[in-house]
């Protein structure tokens, strides 16, 4: 058993390199049965998708909390500390609760290992969240984000009030499948019989799979562009507005402060989900609270300007769809003389396709390595970028700097006062970079 939070955290986190991601529900189901099924006491809003899950969860949680509901959230990965991923009303799970719940689960995990295999870090985190919400925090609602996929994701042991699907793109192809329909089938696996579904999956192949799955499970589907829609009114850095129209009512001139046209889609998805909660379950958010909540919603690490002098923008784009969205937003929202781009990626990503989207707008690329066991070597990724440059004839400077701290320092030295530094790639890299920029004085950063 563990005597401290540090010991418990070491046990939890060491499971990632040992066991990685382990699709399948049998371990979670067996564990929850031994815990007396605490998940059955909770009301979940289950959110899946390739990109946009975190932002959608943030809009939902902010709106519901503004209406006076106690709201639990389970999101991943974390950007600052492990406890960030399990929150109630924006407050992290106490370290003492992680310790006590880990001590409760450890003997059960040991008992299950010979029968079902070892729990992964994500499965254990999912179980800790469920036990915390069901036996200590007692939130009215839980905004519940999948880790990867949906059908075999450990979060899929719950029966939600509503299933939410953001978008579907190529990511985790080594596990979820190599085509959009394959991946869509995994995401649509969170759809439960008779439970309403809200989706902004705009790729037609993906949307068709969501429709087919919803129809087969007799789940009412609310699909963007069909049952609900949104229309842009204004876009500028730090503020954009849109009109929302759904089957039950319209909401004009909704303002959000997160940048990027994709955030309008995420906000509209959250609005339609709130409308479903209102119509099906009488969970009501007054318009005044709703508008105010959406206007103040933020999500760390997503187009987050963490420094103004020099200008440093963080974004967790780590797959081709994310890269395309980031490139489109950089073109349409921000002003700069040139872009200095710092990139750190994991191995299991579609790097050529990512680079194809982002490199046309980059002037200087500095490739580095996340402090993570599955990191992509900087030299290899730089070679891929240089091959694109040589084939396209672009005037692009490419540098490999494996030390991510040195890479950030180099970007600051190379950027002029009118330039924009963009830090992107793996969220594990972003977490470290964000902490360094926000928490260290410039004298310690080497700037």
pLDDT band at 368; cut points 50, 70, 90: very high
Residue recorded with tokens 């954009």: 240
And the tokens for 441? Answer: 């004085």
| Average pLDDT estimate for 49-58 | 92
Give 129-162 pLDDT, tens digit per residue.
Answer: 999 999 999 999 999 999 877 888 999 999 999 9
| Average pLDDT estimate for 74-95 | 93
To the nearest 10 degrees (0 to 180), the angle between helices 261-281 and 287-296 is 150
Q: What is the predicted pLDDT for the residue at 417?
A: 94
Contacts of 442 (CB under 8 A, 6+ apart): none
Residue 329 CA, distance from chain mean position: 18
What three-state secondary structure class fits 174?
helix
Residue 171 CB neighbour total at 10 angstroms:
22
Query: Does the pLDDT at position 18 exceed 50?
Result: no
What three-state secondary structure class fits 341?
strand
Tallying the residues shown for the chain, one arrives at 447
**Residue 87 dihedral angles phi and psi, to the nearest 5°:** -135, 155
Query: pLDDT over 90 for what percent of the chain?
Result: 79
Q: The sheet that has 162-165: what strands, in order across it? A: 91-92, 86-88, 71-74, 141-145, 44-48, 162-165, 197-199, 221-223
| Average pLDDT estimate for 117-137 | 96
Give 380-396 pLDDT, tens digit per residue.
Answer: 999 999 999 999 888 89
Q: What is the predicted pLDDT for the residue at 170?
A: 64
Query: Does the pLDDT at position 93 exceed 60?
Result: yes
pLDDT band at 441; cut points 50, 70, 90: confident
Q: What is the predicted pLDDT for the residue at 174?
A: 56
Q: What is the predicted pLDDT for the residue at 428?
A: 86
Residue 312 CB neighbour total at 10 angstroms:
24
Q: What is the predicted pLDDT for the residue at 446?
A: 64
pLDDT band at 19; cut points 50, 70, 90: very low
Give 173-187 pLDDT, tens digit per residue.
Answer: 556 666 888 889 989
- pTM of the predicted model over 0.85: yes
Strands (E), 209-303: 221-223, 229-236, 239-245, 250-256
Mean per-residue pLDDT of the chain: 92
Q: What is the predicted pLDDT for the residue at 178?
A: 67
And the tokens for 310? Answer: 């020099």
For residues 430 and 410, what is the distance between their CA atoms, to the nearest angstrom? 16
Q: Are 162 and 45 in contact (CB under 8 A)?
A: yes
Residue 153 CB neighbour total at 10 angstroms:
27
Residue recorded with tokens 């106490």: 94
For the ranges 17-21, 60-64, 366-370, 393-397, the lowest mean pLDDT is seen at 17-21
Query: pLDDT over 70 for what percent of the chain?
Result: 95
Q: In the chain, what is the straight-line distance between the N-terminal and C-terminal CA atoms, in Å?
A: 45
| Average pLDDT estimate for 249-271 | 96
What three-state secondary structure class fits 340?
strand
Alpha-carbon dihedral sign for residues 97, 103, 108, 112: positive
Contacts of 196 (CB under 8 A, 6+ apart): 162, 163, 219, 220, 221, 222, 276, 280
For residues 231 and 246, what is the distance between their CA atoms, to the nearest angstrom? 12
Pairing of strands 250-256, 239-245: antiparallel
């Amino acid at each position: 058993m563990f005597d401290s939070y540090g010991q418990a955290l070491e046990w939890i986190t060491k499971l990632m390199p040992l066991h990685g991601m382990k699709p399948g529900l049998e371990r979670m189901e067996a564990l929850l049965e031994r815990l007396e099924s605490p998940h059955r006491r909770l009301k979940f809003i289950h959110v899946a998708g390739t990109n946009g899950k975190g932002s959608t969860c943030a809009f939902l949680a902010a709106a519901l909390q503004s209406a006076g509901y106690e709201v639990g959230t389970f999101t991943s990965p974390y950007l600052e500390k492990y406890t960030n991923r399990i929150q109630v009303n924006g407050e992290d799970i106490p370290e003492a609760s992680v310790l006590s719940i880990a001590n409760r689960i450890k003997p059960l995990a040991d008992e299950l290992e010979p029968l079902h295999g070892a729990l992964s870090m994500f499965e254990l985190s999912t179980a800790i969240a469920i036990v915390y919400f069901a036996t200590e925090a007692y939130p009215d609602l839980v905004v519940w984000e999948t880790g990867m996929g949906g059908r075999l994701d450990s979060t899929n042991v719950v029966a939600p009030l509503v299933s939410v699907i953001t978008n579907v793109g190529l990511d985790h192809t080594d596990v979820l499948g190599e085509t959009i329909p394959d991946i869509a089938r995994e995401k649509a696996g969170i759809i439960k019989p008779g439970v309403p579904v809200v989706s902004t999956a705009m790729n037609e192949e993906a949307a068709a799979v969501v429709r087919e799955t919803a129809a087969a499970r007799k789940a009412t589907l609310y699909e963007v562009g069909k049952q609900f829609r949104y229309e842009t009114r204004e876009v500028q850095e730090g503020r954009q507005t849109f009109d929302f129209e759904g089957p039950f009512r319209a909401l004009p001139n909704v303002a959000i402060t997160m940048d990027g046209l994709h955030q309008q889609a995420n906000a509209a998805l959250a609005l339609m989900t709130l409308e479903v909660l209102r119509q099906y379950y009488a969970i009501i958010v007054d318009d005044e609270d709703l508008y105010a909540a959406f206007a103040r919603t933020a999500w760390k690490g997503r187009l987050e300007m963490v420094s103004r002098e020099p200008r440093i923008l963080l974004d967790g784009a780590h797959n081709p769809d994310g890269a395309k969205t980031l490139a489109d937003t950089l073109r349409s929202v921000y002003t700069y003389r040139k872009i200095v781009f710092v990139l750190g990626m994991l191995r299991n990503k579609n790097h050529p396709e990512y680079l194809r989207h982002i490199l046309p707008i980059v002037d200087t690329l500095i490739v580095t390595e996340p402090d993570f066991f599955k990191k992509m070597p900087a030299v290899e990724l730089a070679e891929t970028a240089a091959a694109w440059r040589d084939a396209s004839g672009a005037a692009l400077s490419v540098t490999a700097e494996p030390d991510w701290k040195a890479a950030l320092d180099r970007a600051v030295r190379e950027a002029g006062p009118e330039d924009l530094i963009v830090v992107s790639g793996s969220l594990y890299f972003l977490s470290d970079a964000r902490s360094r920029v926000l928490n260290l004085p410039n004298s310690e950063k080497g700037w």
